[in-house]
Amino acid sequence: MSGLRRIPWALVLVVAALFVPALGSRFYTFVATDVAILALFAVSLNLLLGYTGLVSFGHAAYFGIGAYATGILMKKAGIPFLLAFPAAGVLAGLFALVFGFFCVRLTKIYFAMLTLAFAQIVWAICFKWNDVTGGEQGMPEIPYPDLAWMERLPLAGQLRTSDHFYLLTVVLVAACLWVLRRIVGSPFGRILTTIRENPERAEFIGVNVRRFELIAFVIAGAFAGLAGGLFGIFNRGVFPDFVYWSKSSEVLIMTILGGIGYFYGPAVGALVLLVLNQQITSYTQYWPFILGTILIVLLFAFPSGIVGALDAAARRLARPRRA
Amino acid sequence: MPDLAFLFGQSLSGLTAAMFLFLVASGLSLIFGVLGVLNFAHGSFYMLGAYTTYQIVQWLGRDPGSFWWAALGAAVSIAILGGLIERFLFRHLYGADVLYQLLFTYALVLILSDAAKVLWGTGQLSVSRPPGLTGAFKLWGTFIPYYNLFVLLLGPTIALLFWLLLTRTRNGRLIRAAALDREMLGALGVNVDRLYTGVFVVGSFLAGLGGALIAPVKAVVPGMDVEIIVEAFIVVVIGGLGSFWGTMLGALVYGQVLAFGILIFPRFSIFSVFALMAVVLILRPWGLLGRPLKS
């Protein structure tokens, strides 16, 4: 058991993920890119939801801001990906700073509602500001970053552009997840957990709760922005839907489906939900119906999510049986 | 400067919209005030109310009174549906985190919207106005359909009835008590479970009625659930979650902001209502007429 634990599973998974294009299927690469990007989005939300105990109902705002930022910079200004991608994180982080400043002053349900209100404001602007965001029609044809250099890499020579972009996505998402993991494990992350468990007590021991919540909000927003920046390119276009409240609830569902008590839980949720979506939508158009049913089963039967349920099962198996 | 007649017409259309919104939002606010849950499925109940009205009108045929029976039947069916959902599903989540309760109601939104698509298709359906209310009359240069006048009068009537129910009856007192302290009420021997179901039934009834009454003036289409829930949500937030007169005020403000926002910045009228909601939340999170929640 302890031997198994010493293997760096996350690294193994990243390396394995790099070989998905080698399967040669355009479809697998497509799904894998989707999963990688939304996993980052969901994990960034979980920094608020699972670690700090803040329910954000408008996390799509920062995803969308990141997507629009990268899209506009690359398509309209011709700025290379190397600058346009970090810009997504910075801009989303700045918006999160401004919006979060007001949100962290409110508690519980009011916090959730204000995050939603801000997200809808962003949506209304994206939806109507035709000159900059393309309005209702969105902004199609975001160019791929220049990845011709990847052809010189061993094994990656014959791959398609979408495969190259997938490799880039895996590396960037893995790097982001690593940073987030470090943040969560740091003393700063511990304080966030303290705030979740008991904000009053955290205040008593001298923690400036609002400031820490705001910092968490900005970090979560920035990483959601990075995920959005990647998603706009992957999706070959940025649309106002990215910011709409149904997107926020989608990522919430992923996060809870995976399990908010685990760092990689939301990533598992993203994987399961997207793969299910791909499978089910090829049989029926009533995906929302299925999603709703999954959600109800989840809420009643597995409130701690997939990873939570697996974890509990593993513990039960590992425990020596007493007569 | 537009002339006064035009402004009058504009504000009247805002007022009519406000009355519809009030019907739906008051149910939402009632459920939140007592159960402490924001019911996303409230918009779905409204949508089902409209579809059910259409269906009953189809069944009854060309009978002159069919619309009224249909509206009543729809509101009652939706009330029963709401009661069943509360009794058999929602009740089991009261102990869970608020987030789980929110997601449950969101799951209902997904399921009910697809159910409506399966039953009635994705096309636009319409219900004709009830006979006797089909025409319009002219007042200060504005044509006012009789049906709108009826809605303008019905809104305050229902508000008044609702207010009397809450303040003058025993059940109303119990509802207000449950909003303040559920456990104490239970300890005093009141059947709180039944009360909660009752509140859910009344809230759903109002949503169904709102949907039934809007059917003759708006196309019955998929997507009307999400549209109304966002609007009703803004209304209750502005007015104050759980506050009865706050909901009325919120609906009136929303109607006017939307009606005049279109004149002032035509392209950003949606923006103006969301901005108003954010400003209210920042300055008075509990809304214009609400009371701060106990923490």
**B226-262: pLDDT as tens digits:** 888 888 888 888 888 777 888 888 888 888 888 877 7
Chain B residue numbers touching A108 (CB-CB < 8 A): 98
Q: Do A296 and B230 touch (CB under 8 A)?
A: no
pLDDT of the residue at A155? 67
Is the pLDDT at B264 greater than 80, yes or no? no
B283 contact A CB<8A: no
pLDDT of the residue at B2? 61
Q: What is the pLDDT of residues A217-260, one digit of tens each?
A: 999 999 999 999 999 888 888 888 888 888 888 899 889 888 88
CA nearest to B21, candidates B202, B152, B174: B152
**Strand pairing report for A237-238 and B136-139:** unpaired
pTM, two decimal places? 0.86
For residue B161, give its domain range.
19-222
Is residue B269 assigned to a domain? no
How far are the Cα atoms of A248, B44, B92, B283, B294 from residue A115, in angstroms, in the given order? 10, 23, 28, 15, 21
Confidence class of residue A2 from pLDDT cuts 50, 70 and 90? Answer: low
Which residue among B93, B110, B241 places its CB closest to the CB of A292? Answer: B110
Q: Give the whole-angstrom CA distance, residue B48 versus residue B41.
A: 10
State mean pLDDT over A20-25: 76
A108 contact B CB<8A: yes
- Inter-axis angle of helices B4-35 and B224-239, nearest 10: 80
pLDDT of the residue at A312? 86
Is the pLDDT at B1 greater than 60, yes or no? no
User: What secondary structure does DSSP assign to A166-198, as a single string?
Assistant: HHHHHHHHHHHHHHHHHHHHSHHHHHHHHHHH-
The residues pairing with B145 across neighbouring beta strands, listed in sequence order, are B136
State mean pLDDT over B190-209: 88
Is residue B130 assigned to a domain? yes
Which residue among A121, A127, A289 places its CB closest to the CB of B114? Answer: A289
* A133 contacts A239 by C-beta, under 8 angstroms: no
Chain A residue numbers touching B110 (CB-CB < 8 A): 288-289, 291-292, 295
> A300: which 2 tokens?
């009643």
Q: Which of A293, A299, A304 to mutate to test the interface with B (most CBs of B within 10 A)?
A: A299
Q: Do B117 and A286 touch (CB under 8 A)?
A: yes
- Compute the mean pLDDT over every residue in chain B, rounded to the nearest whole number: 83
CA nearest to A289, candidates B109, B149, B222, B242: B109
Is the pLDDT at A19 greater than 90, yes or no? no
Q: Give the whole-angstrom CA distance, residue B210 versus residue B45.
A: 9
User: Amino acid identity, residue A298?
Assistant: L
Is the pLDDT at B295 greater than 50, yes or no? no
Q: What is the pLDDT of residues A113-146, one digit of tens each?
A: 899 889 988 998 888 887 778 777 888 878 787 7
- Best-predicted range by mean pLDDT (A150-159, B4-13, B67-76): B67-76
Worst-scoring range by mean pLDDT, A229-233, B12-16, B79-83?
B12-16
pLDDT of the residue at B79? 92
Which residue among B93, B274, B275 places its CB closest to the CB of A299? Answer: B93
State mean pLDDT over A162-186: 89
* A249 contacts A127 by C-beta, under 8 angstroms: no
State mean pLDDT over A296-323: 81
User: What secondary structure does DSSP assign to A254-305, as a single string?
Assistant: HHHHH-TTSSSHHHHHHHHHHHHHHHHHTT-S-HHHHHHHHHHHHHHH-TTH
Q: Which residues of B53-64 are buried (b: 16+ CB within 10 A; e: fewer)?
A: bbbbbeeeeeee
pLDDT of the residue at B192? 81
Q: Do A256 and B111 touch (CB under 8 A)?
A: no
Is the pLDDT at A15 greater than 90, yes or no? no
Q: Do A303 and B96 touch (CB under 8 A)?
A: yes
Is the pLDDT at A321 greater than 70, yes or no? no
Min distance A170 CA to chain B CA atoms (Å): 30
- Compute the mean pLDDT over every residue in chain A, rounded to the nearest whole number: 86
- Nearest chain B residue to A286 by CA: give it: B114
Which residue among A110, A121, A288 places its CB closest to the CB of B114? Answer: A288
Is residue B293 assigned to a domain? no
Is the pLDDT at B270 greater than 80, yes or no? no
Min distance A246 CA to chain B CA atoms (Å): 10
Residues 148-207 of A with CB under 8 A from B: none
> B189: which 2 tokens?
């021997």
Is the pLDDT at A216 greater than 90, yes or no? yes
pLDDT of the residue at A226? 94
Q: What is the pLDDT of residues A47-98, one digit of tens each?
A: 999 898 888 889 999 999 999 999 888 888 888 888 889 999 999 999 999 9
pLDDT of the residue at B267? 67
